[in-house]
Structure 1
Amino acid sequence: MKKRFILLGILFAVVGFTKVNAQIISDKTLGALGKGVAGFTFSDADAAALAKQAINEMDAENPVAGPTSGYTIRLNRLFGKHTSSEGVTLNYKVYLVKDINAFACADGSVRVFAGLMDIMDDNELLAVIGHEIGHVVNHDTRDAIKAAYKKEALLDVASSQSGTIETITKSQLGKLGSAMIDSKHSRKQESQADLFSYDFMKKNGYDVNAVESAFRILQNLSEGAEASFLTKMVSSHPDSGKRADDAKKRAEKDGLYKAYLQQKIVNTAPVKAAAKTPAKKTTAKKK
């Protein structure tokens, strides 16, 4: 997986990555866009059902951190109390890969890459995932999967008429997965998700200045070897520097701004103290 794509994963909040081969529809749907697509009602439930199958496929094909992993322990510590937001039920897992990414799906699944957890402290991580949660709550992930579905002409005529999504198969994995990856949220959607992240931090008593700090980290990454590629790709999206500036302005307006100092990052499981072996009692022999 190339670094350039992973950076885009955060900048654009795509609903997948190179291993995302989402099983979404039945074999008979290929090439059968039909007349009913334009009027097809794509509900939140439809989006969630498709996303759930897609995330199950991703979880099966990628290394997921186990319950005793330091990454899992850290993520559960941070987000264990945030399994529900604005009526959306969320679930979190860590992919043990070095790439830098985090994404959320329409079913409330949030996946965080170990690479992201390696470079951001707790507050910065809360800010980035808060942004991803915003895309779910604001229905952006639903709109993205719907757009990908229609763009690839994969909607069955029968499905459009019956109002149901059919069983998915592996034969369309690559095609729909690519369409989902290519989808991008609008500037407005990204800005609204940024605002959601800031409000999420403020409402829950976290340091709102970490929002700016998280975007500064992404800004620095985008100014590295991949800068020219990212400049071209972010032409239709707000850049990380501007988003950092906006977060700073919000904090200043609220009278909460102060330069953020990154805290220690710990992704290792706590070491359990070895149980002490009780000393054997010695009994003096009577003479």
Structure 2
Amino acid sequence: MVSAGASALKAATLSDADVKDLSDKSCATLDGQSSIAAAKSPEARRLAKIVKGMPATVNGVPLDYKVYLTKDVNAWAMGNGCVRVYGGLMKLMNDNEVRAVIGHEIGHVALGHTKSTMQTAYAASAARQVAASAGNSAVAALSNSQLGELAEKLVNAQFSQVQESAADDYAFDLLTAAKLNRNGLVSSFEKQAKLGDENSMFSSHPPSSERAKHMRERLAAKK
């Protein structure tokens, strides 16, 4: 119990270096479990085209983009700059929509949401440790199976309504600053709404239809 308490405290005070270390290991774990599009594949070339003109870093960390060759509709980003887009999402959405989703995911990193999620996920894993030696790094305290579980928690994390809305606005501002097409911010949510928020990669709070409405209002205000 003392060890679990110490691990929970460690989770609440994860340093940026801890977050990057855990993100590196989590991303590597997921990459090892996935089929990744080769650099010269149509999928990778398309993604490179989509992100051209977008910022190359987030919080000073270089962004690393890859495509997972899967039918799943998903995308995520981690604090180490790891950005992964799933084949199902790229099939469902056009370039502007994929770009909007990526901007949203980068927003979660830039605004510190992924760090908070990392802290929560790490605490849940670390609490099951029988003991953790004092001074161990966050990664050293986790077994391989726990690291895999942590990675899955990060990918499937649900953000709060406030966090989702903030990431939406971040994506809007990012695309505006980069002078890139912002219409995908509306149509991507419309497509998610048609799929049903219960099956959406996005949190259902607020619903995708409401998020699309908010983006339409911001676009109208900019005209």
* TM-score (ref. length: structure 1): 0.68
2:221 counterpart residue number: 253
SS of the equivalent of 1:42 reads coil
Determine the C-alpha separation between the residues in 1 that align with 2:139 and 2:32: 21
Point out where structure 2 has 5 or more consecutive residues left out of the alignment.
Answer: none
Say whether the 8 Å CA contact 1:48–1:142 is kept in structure 2.
Answer: no
Q: Which has the larger radius of gyration?
A: 1
Q: Which position in structure 2 is the counterpart of 1:79?
A: 51
Aligned to 1:170: 144
CA deviations on 1:27-82 (whole Å, 9 max, x unpaired) are xxx99313463365211221111011111111111100001210100111222443
Deviations 1:106-140 (A, max 9, x none): 21101001111112111111111000000111111
SS of 1:205's equivalent? coil
Structure 1 pair 221/138, CA: closer, same or farther in 2 (3 Å)?
same
The match for 1:149 among 122, 130, 136 is 122
Counterpart among 207, 211, 214 of residue 243 in structure 1: 211
Count residues in correspondence: 217
Are the structure 2 counterparts of residues 234 and 124 from structure 1 closer, same or farther at C-alpha, using a change threshold of 3 Å?
A: closer
- 1:178-217 aligned at under 5 Å gives the runs 179-180=153-154, 183-217=157-191
Quote the offset at 1:238 in angstroms.
0.9
* Higher RCO (C-alpha 8 Å, min separation 6): 1
Q: What is the deviation of 1:181?
A: 5.3
Say yes or no: does 1:111 pair with 2:84: yes
Maintained 8 Å contact 1:134/1:196: yes
Distance in 2 (alpha carbons) for counterparts of 1:98 and 1:245: 28
In structure 2, do the counterparts of structure 1 residues 171 and 59 end up closer, same or farther at CA, with 3 Å as the change threshold?
closer
1:50 equivalent in alignment to 2:22: yes
Structure 1 spans left out of the alignment, 5+ residues: 1-29, 256-287
Runs ≥4 residues deviating over 6 A: none
Supply the distance in 2 between the matched residues of 1:158 and 1:114 (Cα, whole angstroms): 41
Alignment root-mean-square deviation, CA: 2.6
Q: Which moved more, 1:96-105 or 1:34-43?
A: 34-43
What SS does the aligned partner of 1:164 have?
coil
1:278 is matched with which residue?
none
Q: What's 2:65 paired with? A: 92
CA distance in 2, matches of 1:122, 1:173: 33
3-state SS of 1:94 partner: strand
- Structure 2 equivalent of residue 129 of structure 1: 102
1:16 aligned partner: none
Please tell me the residue identity of whatever aligns with 2:164.
E
Bigger share in helix? 2
**Contact 1:41–1:163 (CA under 8 A) maintained in structure 2:** no
Aligned pair in 2 of structure 1 residues 181, 206: CA closer, same or farther (>3 Å)? Answer: closer
